Structure 1
Amino acid sequence: MLAGKSGNYIADHWYGRQSLAWSFWVNLVLLRALVFIGQDWFSPVKGSDYSTHSTLVFLLAIFFHGIFFVWQLVGVFRAGAVHIGARGSMANIWGAQLGAIVAFWLTATYAFGAWQMTLPAPDDKAFQARIEIERASKFSFVPSADGQNLEFTGSIELGISKHFARQLKLYPNLRTIVLSSTGGNIYEARGLSKMIRENGLNTLVRSLCTSACTTVFIGGLSRELMPNAQLGFHQYRIDATYSVLNADVSAEQERDRMLYAAANVKPWFLMQMFASRSDEMWFPEIDELLDAGVVTRALDASPPR
């Protein structure tokens, strides 16, 4: 039976005058599926901003996920009551009730999605710019007056290689990179080390260079240490509270051992450099560093800035 005696389709469903099968499969399942498909069809693509139409989206959500959905459910339940009175069978009622529960949770999910459509789309470019500014604030490059020395201070952050590449263009007469850092990102450290090596630059430490900073240091053609300056080595660690896919600390340490081996560092040092735990630090004596070939020259006075 498609319609009741009144001939009003909306009223007939609301008052349970249509059959349970029609009320459930057509008025609930089919029409609800069309609502979901319609929302998926008109949902904004990633990065689009529908917040300018938030009032319209909000009103449509109230109608289709609120008023219209209540009409659907009430009609099914009332048709179920009529079905019991006429046939006394509960099996179809239980099936309809289970379907109504599923429809409710799906509707709640789609209603939440509709609400998200009313929110302004995130500005990915602005967010990325803020991240870049925050990272850049953690390090600095300061050139000497004659443009031959470039002092790097701070943390080795993501994107630092791009900053360093710009410095190389700005100061074509650059000869020495002065390092003062407690480390940071090993991938970026390798990038800096490679650029230093390819440009035939020297490295110098006046005070402290530890962890990933030493990877930058080993890229120098001439590697120099000032009096009381220190190089610190330890095992690598992953600074993340979550599992990082394809992250192998031992493999990363082996890659950096190869960088030291390419710089003619002696085997005994290659075996010792990652012996200390990640929460410890090994500071070799200057004689050890010279003997191993890590440092090529120990200076006795500060060079001019």
Structure 2
Amino acid sequence: MHIKEGGITSPRIEPRFEQLESSLKPQIAPADASWKRATLTRQPRFNNVVARNWRGELPLWVSYWVIGFIGNLLIGIIPVAVDGTLSGHGYDPRILLITLAGGWLAIAAVSVWQGVGVWRSADARIIARKDLGRAAPWAILAKLAVFVGLVRLIALAVNIGAPQMTELSRMAFFDDPDISPYALRIMRNGTELEISGGFKFGLNEDLVRLLRAAPKVRIVHLDSTGGRIGEAVTVYNTIQERKLITYVSHQCMSACTVAFVGGQQRWLYSRAQLGFHAPTFPGISAGELADATEEQREIFSAVGIDRSFVDKALSTPNNSIWLPPEDELLRSRVITNVSDGSNFAASGFGANLPRDTLAAQLKKSLAALSDLERVAPDEFNSLVDDFLEGYQKGQTEAHLLAQGRQRFLRIISTNLPLADDPTLIDFGKLMIDQYTFLNQRDPSLCYQYAAKGELDPFLLSPTLREREAALDQRVLQTAAKRPTIPAQILQSLWGKVISAVTLRVGRDNAHMILGTKVSPAQYGSYCEATIAFYQEIIRLREPEAAELMRQVLAPK
């Protein structure tokens, strides 16, 4: 900490002092023995310069200028001594609090000693001048300077000292209540570790202890909204010293980013976020804020992050957050790699994940699961249990999501033919738009999805994913037993559809969707024929189109 102010200063007003003439005559000294004894008992115990200044016995010019200079020099040395004391003890709020409190007490003691000495010396000067029938303007000005200095000291204590003491007390004795608790979790047979929650005092100590117990750890997952920069720096140093890899699967904000950049490799999940802004602390001065910002700047620069990125990150006000996009993070060398979720154990749900919490989070991420819980509670509970078991075993997020999606889609597929007519028609329109989107992007993706039902859903546009999620809800909400259309009518409808498709895409292409072997060169044509097939179904009257969709989507 650097306390820039706090000393008692005054304008350079040079007081004038004249030699007083004594009117006391040696021959009139009292001879009474009792008076002599009383005089002796009133002799001060200490007569050093500190005591004499306190009693106001020094000449005013000495108290004001000489003692003032010495006092201000001491006040200037105190912050340096505080910094020197703290630099060897790392980030420990208890030591910070004790040292800082000692510094403020020392400043207060020196300031009071300095001010009382000037005040009393000025009083003596005023009395002496009054006895001579003269004014003492310089003494009055000196007392005014003491008063101004006292006001400044109180203002500094209230605006800087008190907020700092309060915040450090909360950190040292109340577990930093405004910052969420942290938790550590070992994963994937002792090769990965997750830090979740806030960065507060004690985190790095626990991290080091856990790393010693699990020496095979090479990956550190970070899931945090931030915390104390001081603790984040110690975690950064630990990660750097052990040459660990850092990974964010959900979010890493504020102070967390300092720890993140310590990784030898810095991985970000494709849908995760990093957030940056300037540091802050209650009662911090502009100079101290600049020092804290510079320390963070040096850390970011040391790992090779682009200077313009660092400038923007640390110029973002602390009451807001900057969430740079993935391409900018890569370009600025903040991250070294992007993960699709298949590289590391799943994380981001917290170290101690209760089943009810997981169920709530899954329903929040996919609204259709709420309907599944209502329609088929056993299926829902089984899905949650499987996800939780895989999460605790350290399976990758990609594996868990794929496994959960396959299970969910099987449930949807079972209920899809039971959905009402409007839902089936809209589902057909969705399939047309999905195949068209994929065929334009990569015909092989379209073929894999249309022919085999295999696809990473995130290859689709957000709009298409949202439409599918909404339709999944409608499927579960409207699923019910439906009457069937006579086979003769169905056969007639199919004949009409196949004739229309053949007319549009040709006999050979039309036959591909009926099971003919398809070569890679024909993937585009296969998708075009499939799109035409569903378009012709949708063109029928709604009840007829819905019945054909039921036939197509019925479990094979």
- TM-score range with shorter-chain normalisation? 0.5 to 0.7
| 1:147 maps to which of 182, 185, 190 | 190
Relative distance call for 1:176 and 1:132 in structure 2 (3 A) is farther
Shift in Å, 1:263: 1.0
Q: Deviations over 1:227-281 (max 9, x none)?
A: 211000111111x2x457x961122112112212111112221221112111111
Q: Given that residues 193 and 220 in structure 2 are in contact (C-alpha distance below 8 angstroms), is that contact kept between their aligned partners in structure 1?
A: yes
1:269 paired residue number: 309
Shift in Å, 1:154: 0.9
| 2:327 maps to which of 280, 287, 291 | 287
| 1:184 maps to which of 227, 230, 235 | 227
Shift in Å, 1:132: 6.9
Q: 1 CA distance for matches of 2:315 and 2:324?
A: 12
1:14 paired residue number: none
TM-score w.r.t. structure 2 length?
Answer: 0.31
Give 1 or 2: higher helix fraction: 2
Does residue 173 of the first structure (1) align with residue 207 of the second (2)?
no
Q: How many residue pairs end up in the alignment?
A: 188
Shift in Å, 1:134: 3.3
2:255 paired residue number: 212
| 2:300 maps to which of 230, 247, 260 | 260
Query: Which structure is higher in RCO with an 8 Å CA cutoff and minimum separation 6?
Result: 1
Does residue 194 of the first structure (1) align with residue 216 of the second (2)?
no
Corresponding residue SS for 2:318: coil
2:175 paired residue number: 134
Q: 2 CA distance for matches of 1:252 and 1:206?
A: 28
Q: Given that residues 191 and 218 in structure 2 are in contact (C-alpha distance below 8 angstroms), is that contact kept between their aligned partners in structure 1?
A: yes
Kindly, what percent of the aligned residue pairs are identical?
30
Q: 1 CA distance for matches of 2:262 and 2:280?
A: 22
Corresponding residue SS for 1:143: strand
Q: Deviations over 1:25-78 (max 9, x none)?
A: 98xx99xxxxxxxxxxxxxxxxxxxxxxxxxxxxxxxxxxxxxxxxxxxxxxxx
RMSD between superposed Cα atoms in Å: 3.1
Relative distance call for 1:252 and 1:243 in structure 2 (3 A) is closer
2:290 paired residue number: 250
Relative distance call for 1:206 and 1:132 in structure 2 (3 A) is farther
Shift in Å, 1:193: 0.5
Shift in Å, 1:146: 0.7
Q: 1 CA distance for matches of 2:284 and 2:341?
A: 46
Counterparts of residues 1-305 of structure 1 (less than 5 Å): 134=175, 138-238=181-281, 240=282, 242=283, 248-302=288-342, 303-304=344-345, 305=394
Which segments of 5 or more consecutive residues in structure 1 lack a partner in the other structure? 1-18, 31-127
Corresponding residue SS for 1:134: coil
Q: Given that residues 198 and 227 in structure 2 are in contact (C-alpha distance below 8 angstroms), is that contact kept between their aligned partners in structure 1?
A: yes
2:6 paired residue number: none
Structure number with greater Rg is 2
Q: Given that residues 300 and 310 in structure 2 are in contact (C-alpha distance below 8 angstroms), is that contact kept between their aligned partners in structure 1?
A: yes
Q: 1 CA distance for matches of 2:304 and 2:273?
A: 20
Q: 2 CA distance for matches of 1:227 and 1:267?
A: 24
Relative distance call for 1:132 and 1:171 in structure 2 (3 A) is farther
Shift in Å, 1:171: 0.9
Corresponding residue SS for 1:224: strand
Give 1 or 2: higher strand fraction: 1
Q: Given that residues 248 and 267 in structure 2 are in contact (C-alpha distance below 8 angstroms), is that contact kept between their aligned partners in structure 1?
A: yes
Equivalent residue letter for 1:298: V
Q: 2 CA distance for matches of 1:250 and 1:261?
A: 16
Equivalent residue letter for 2:269: M
Q: 1 CA distance for matches of 2:208 and 2:173?
A: 16
Relative distance call for 1:230 and 1:173 in structure 2 (3 A) is same
Corresponding residue SS for 1:249: helix
Q: Deviations over 1:200-252 (max 9, x none)?
A: 100001111111100000000110011211000111111x2x457x9611221
Q: Given that residues 297 and 314 in structure 2 are in contact (C-alpha distance below 8 angstroms), is that contact kept between their aligned partners in structure 1?
A: no
Q: 1 CA distance for matches of 2:216 and 2:287?
A: 38
Relative distance call for 1:229 and 1:243 in structure 2 (3 A) is closer
Runs of 4+ in structure 1 over 3 Å off: 19-23, 130-137
Relative distance call for 1:247 and 1:146 in structure 2 (3 A) is farther
TM-score w.r.t. structure 1 length?
Answer: 0.54
Equivalent residue letter for 2:294: E
Which segments of 5 or more consecutive residues in structure 2 lack a partner in the other structure? 1-33, 44-168, 346-393, 395-556
Corresponding residue SS for 2:290: helix
Shift in Å, 1:20: 12
